[in-house]
Amino acid sequence: MTLNKPILLLGCVLLFLQTLAQQNNIRFKRITINEGLSLSSVYCIFQDSKGFMWFGTEDGLNRYDGKNFKIYRSTPENENTISHKWIEQIHEDSNGKLWFGSRGGLTQYDPVKEKFTQFRGIGNSKKLVNDTITTIFECENRKLWIGTLKGINCIDLENLQMLEFNNSKRIQDRVNCFHQLVNGNILIGSQSGLYHFNSANNKFKKIKFSDNVLSVQCITKFRDNFLIGSNNGVYTLDSELKILEQALEDTNIENILIDSLATIWISTDNALLRKGDKVLEYSKAVKSFEATNSLSINTNKPIIYSNSGDIWFGTYGSGVFRFDDKKHHYQNNSADPQSLSENSINCIYEDKNGLIWIGTFGAGISIYDPQAHKFNLIKNNPLSENSLPSNFIWSVWEDKQNNVWIGTNNKGLSKYNITRDSFVHYDFRKKTKRNHTAIRKVFEDSKQNIWIGTDGDGLIKFKPKTGKRKYYTNIANNTNSLSSNSVRVIFEDSEGLLWVGTQNGLNLFNSKTETFTQFKHSDTDRNSISSNFVYSLIFEDSKGLIWVGTYGGGLNSYNKSTKEFTNYQFSINKDNGISDNVAFSMIEEKDGIFWIGTNNKLNRFDSNTGNFEHFGTEQGLPNNVIYGILKDENNSLWLSTNKGICKFSLKDYSCDNFDIHDGLQSNEFNGGAFHKGKSGIFYFGGVYGLNYINPNKKYKQDVQHEVALTKLEIHGQPVEVSSELSNTNKIFYSEENDSYSFSKSIAYTDSIELDYEHRFVSFEFSTLSNLSPDKINYAYRLKGLEKKWVYSNKRNFASYSNLSPGTYTFQVIVQYPNGKWSEQPKDVIVLIHPPFYLTWWFILFEIIIGLLFLAFVYRFLLHRKTNKLLSAQNEQIKIANQNLKESEKNLRELVDTKNKFFRIISHDLKNPFTSLLSISEMIHENYEMVDDDEKQTGIRKIHESVKHIFTLLENLLTWSRSQTGKIQFIPEVFNLSDLISESVNLYKTSADKKQIKLVNECCEELSVIADRNMCSSVLRNLLNNALKFSYAESQITIRVNPKENFHEIQVIDQGIGIEKENIEKLFRVDLKFKSTGTSGEKGTGLGLLLCKEFVEINGGQIKVESEINKGSVFSFTLSNS
């Protein structure tokens, strides 16, 4: 019993879909002159083995690569064109060459060489019996049979020569068809009858019928027999070509098809007939009395048998019919741009991907893509009242009788009756002059009442059997009435209680009293509902909890026992909380797991832990807005979003995404417009209609179209194909025409070779015959230059400039609508030839020349360097000799100076010692005779001599230490005023003895950076000299002049002065200048030398200004701090 249940359910779903399919809407894509088609009337359609689509029109031949057109027209003076612009026959032979038949001859086209070869009724080797081509057929012996208005031609495909037959002139009228027999024999249908060609003797034999003027239109094999369609019905011939029977006498037969069920389909000039296997009589499937308005050669109505098992039949005024298990009729609807573009059909063709191409008379091409009709669609037909009244869907419900109730935005409520394939429209307006309010919810309760939630007119209870209706609305200040007239969701729980969600609160309906209990948010009650706006979610879980989704307040669970709400709201600080405060939908899985659709991502809620897990576009969903959630029997969730529908697997969380190109009404769906019917069908409504889906059906992935290169450009100029070039991969440049040419089409090329100056190349690529280029993404790279892929999205060209010589591989891959990338890229090898100066032999020659040049340069530079080194050494020796001479001279001068200095010093030392010896000798010898005053005077002179000797030795030692660098230089910041004051105080007593006034004019707090001990020594020496050479009762002034970067210290006396010729001697060691003080004081001659040394060590300068008998000014500078 468990095994039969799913089978029974599947059968019910299929039966229901078959019935529902009567309202199925087919959407055609159109190609017209606006997209590049050369003319609006299309007479033949063909897809070559590469994948290019070819369209024959009255004004040229069209090649279509899925995005762009290339038009071929006839040019009389150019043989490399089609023979005539009106093409009605297209055929591809076993060599991959295309043949085009027209009323002006036959043309062969080599797509690799892009070369046309014309066959006409003139000439020798390529002469046709007639220029008007009626049919083209290739037999098993690689012979091409050409049917014309006046007989037959046969072309040997190996050498393109016309073949001669013994009695081919027996057929001199229109040839309509060929049929291959065994052993190379062929049946030929012509306007004069049926002929048999015997390949053994190359002869034609006419098959005799009772009617000698029989015109044969078509030949079809049926089991072991042949069905011959003629102007006098259908003849059945056995394998011996003997007539077995005749049917449909006096009927003009145009085409005969046999489907996989052995049903015979016969197109006549006024109907489409069919006869099932083991059925005796033909029945009329379609009436078709219209005739074509065109002047085409073939006026038979088109009919094909598709690979999916459908019969497609075109008429000359009634549109297209499709037969699967039922009949479908498609016509032009002027109000629907996705309908059939025209009702007059010239041709129908199925490509290798299953697309149906329909050529019309005057309206281009209409294309039916099975992949764009994965899902069924119900939408409004403005030309029919028996259709959905509005495409904007807010709600849908399948009742127990399998009727589909559809709530629209502005056209009320409609019920689709499946059995009768009819709509019933309901008007629930209280006043018909008012506009319809939106039907936001339709719901059937357990008593088969239909509850209708409106956006403004409240809640309506409707009994379909009686038509009785009752309105429930909000009454002001009545808490037992409906809380709001904007009803958004209706739900019946397991106890039969009816819950109504509105824009202003949740309501529980009491069916006995027909009153409502209102639930509203209260800021003071944490157990109240979180928000009053209940949008589209009321749900009961397996534990009896009522879940309510709000718009802005998050998710709530209501416990009927405790009468308390538990709130789940979004918090930016909580990663495992609900992802948004707008909750649209919810379903329960198992083990306490729930799935919630919100305005921002799908949420997986574990009620055991209270944690939420989020799924969005990062995890593969097409969009983060999740309106509806429906669960199928295969453990998958179907999600309606703002960007299509997602099939979300609960096994591995993978996503299969579908959009408008798969047959959806739009990519945008509506909140609340989702429903799982009792039949198992899923319903999703949006802004452009209602989709219904069989979730158990396995939907085919989109066809993976082949990517091909469609254009090659060099320096921005397209590369033309020239059949005159040899079969080489080299691209040639013509300076005369400033053009580039190649030996074959880039679409059929595996490699190209470019000269170095032509290394600026562009490629254009396309997925051939793909009708949805906006769903295709590309990626490319040039291996040898790029390691990573360049993802160009929908851009289908790539350009490279200034490529270096070498071998590259240009690769293109394509991403299909399902998100998968093609496994094998399209490869083209690009070889850039180097210029002569970058070839290996030239580089080797350059290397050899370079090495020789380097060797020459090396020897030259080595010789030059040697000479230069010798010259430099000689110059250094010369300079060294000169320096030695100067050093010797300076040393001699220094020695002389020192000798002179020491002579001076020895003289200075000798004098005081002589005086000291004479005085001490006198006292020693005459001690008893010398009185006390003379003794005291002698002792004083001895003291002065010893003091003078000590000062001289002290200055000499200090000067010596300065000359040998043994005095440490320790600069520091110190107060200059303090140093001057200390020095003045030191010589205060000496000044008082000579009645000299010391004046310190440095009253400011000035700081300098220098060695304090050296500066103290300089200042003491200068003060000592000033006191020594100043007159009694004079004045010595110490003054400081502050400057920007230094301070100038001046010692000014009013003494004897210094003559100008002696000033230069003051600071020279080799020129001795000494004078006696005003009180007979003697100097050492070294004090000023020390001053100069110490001032310069501290970065300053010392100078003297003096005038005889007026005084001197000694000044020196120190850096300020």
Predicted confidence (pLDDT) per residue in 643-667, tens digit: 999 999 999 999 999 988 888 999 9
CB 237 within 8 A of CB 208: no
Give the SS3 label for residue 315. Answer: coil
> What does the pLDDT average to over 428-442?
87
Split at pLDDT 50, 70, 90, the class of 16 is very low
The pLDDT of residue 137 is above 50: yes
Ramachandran quadrant class, 671 (left: phi over 0; alpha: psi -120 to 50; beta: rest): beta
> What does the pLDDT average to over 680-705?
87
Listed by start position, the domains of the chain span 707-838, 968-1119
The pLDDT of residue 542 is above 70: yes
CB 591 within 8 A of CB 599: no
Arch. (CATH architecture) of 968-1119: 2-Layer Sandwich (3.30)
| β-pairing verdict for 1035-1042 and 1102-1107 | unpaired
The pLDDT of residue 2 is above 50: no
Split at pLDDT 50, 70, 90, the class of 404 is very high
> What does the pLDDT average to over 423-448?
90
Listed residue (154, 238, 141) closest to 183, CA to CA? 141
> What does the pLDDT average to over 1077-1095?
75
Cα(708)–Cα(696) distance, integer angstroms: 36
pLDDT of residue 6: 44
pLDDT of residue 8: 41
675: part of which helix (H) or strand (E)?
strand 669-676
The pLDDT of residue 901 is above 60: no
Split at pLDDT 50, 70, 90, the class of 929 is confident
pLDDT of residue 433: 74
pLDDT of residue 1: 37
Looking only at Cα atoms, what is the longest distance across the chain? 198
> What does the pLDDT average to over 1074-1090?
71
pLDDT of residue 125: 46
The pLDDT of residue 903 is above 60: no
pLDDT of residue 19: 39
The pLDDT of residue 3 is above 50: no
Task: Report CA 508 to chain centroid distance, whole Å.
Answer: 52
Strand partners, 656: 647
pLDDT of residue 168: 63
pLDDT of residue 499: 98
pLDDT of residue 4: 45
The pLDDT of residue 247 is above 90: yes
Tokens representing residue 1001 in the block: 């004019």
Cα(787)–Cα(558) distance, integer angstroms: 59
Higher pLDDT, 1096 or 836: 1096
Higher pLDDT, 885 or 23: 885
Cα(194)–Cα(175) distance, integer angstroms: 10
Condensed to tens digits (0 to 9), the pLDDT of residues 283-292 reads 999 998 888 8
Cα angle: 535, vertex 536, 541; to 5 degrees: 125
pLDDT of residue 37: 97
pTM, to two decimals:
0.70
Same CATH fold assignment for domains 707-838 and 968-1119: no
DSSP state of 17: H
- Mean pLDDT over each residue of the chain, to the nearest integer: 88
Condensed to tens digits (0 to 9), the pLDDT of residues 1013-1022 reads 889 888 988 9
> What does the pLDDT average to over 539-545?
96
pLDDT of residue 726: 79
Split at pLDDT 50, 70, 90, the class of 917 is low
pLDDT of residue 785: 94
Question: What burial letters (b/e) apply to 239-274, b meaning 16+ CB within 10 Å?
Answer: eeeeeeebbbeebbbbbbbbbeeebbbbbbbbbbbb
Condensed to tens digits (0 to 9), the pLDDT of residues 337-347 reads 989 999 999 99
Picking from 551-565, 595-609, 932-946, 984-998, which range would have the lowest pLDDT averaged per residue? Answer: 932-946
pLDDT of residue 596: 98
Share of the chain above pLDDT 70, in %: 89
Ramachandran quadrant class, 858 (left: phi over 0; alpha: psi -120 to 50; beta: rest): alpha
Split at pLDDT 50, 70, 90, the class of 589 is very high
pLDDT of residue 1017: 86
Cα(666)–Cα(682) distance, integer angstroms: 16
pLDDT of residue 957: 59
Tokens representing residue 898 in the block: 């020192």
Q: Does domain 707-838 have CATH number 2.60.40.10?
A: yes
pLDDT of residue 12: 43
Distant-in-sequence, close-in-space partners of 549: CB < 8 Å, separation ≥ 6: 534, 535, 536, 537, 538, 539, 555, 556, 582, 583, 584, 585, 586, 596
Cα angle: 115, vertex 119, 122; to 5 degrees: 135
pLDDT of residue 14: 41
Share of the chain above pLDDT 90, in %: 62
The pLDDT of residue 993 is above 80: yes
Picking from 104-108, 492-496, 555-559, 911-915, which range would have the lowest pLDDT averaged per residue? Answer: 911-915
Cα(215)–Cα(217) distance, integer angstroms: 6
Picking from 232-246, 806-820, 888-902, which range would have the lowest pLDDT averaged per residue? Answer: 888-902
> What does the pLDDT average to over 466-476?
95
Condensed to tens digits (0 to 9), the pLDDT of residues 67-123 reads 899 999 999 888 899 999 999 999 999 999 999 999 999 999 999 999 999 998 765
Strand partners, 708: 766
pLDDT of residue 1093: 84
pLDDT of residue 1064: 78
> What does the pLDDT average to over 349-376?
93
Split at pLDDT 50, 70, 90, the class of 811 is very high
Condensed to tens digits (0 to 9), the pLDDT of residues 183-233 reads 889 999 999 999 999 998 889 999 988 766 689 999 999 999 999 999 999
Distant-in-sequence, close-in-space partners of 72: CB < 8 Å, separation ≥ 6: 60, 61, 62, 63, 81, 82, 116
> What does the pLDDT average to over 945-959?
61
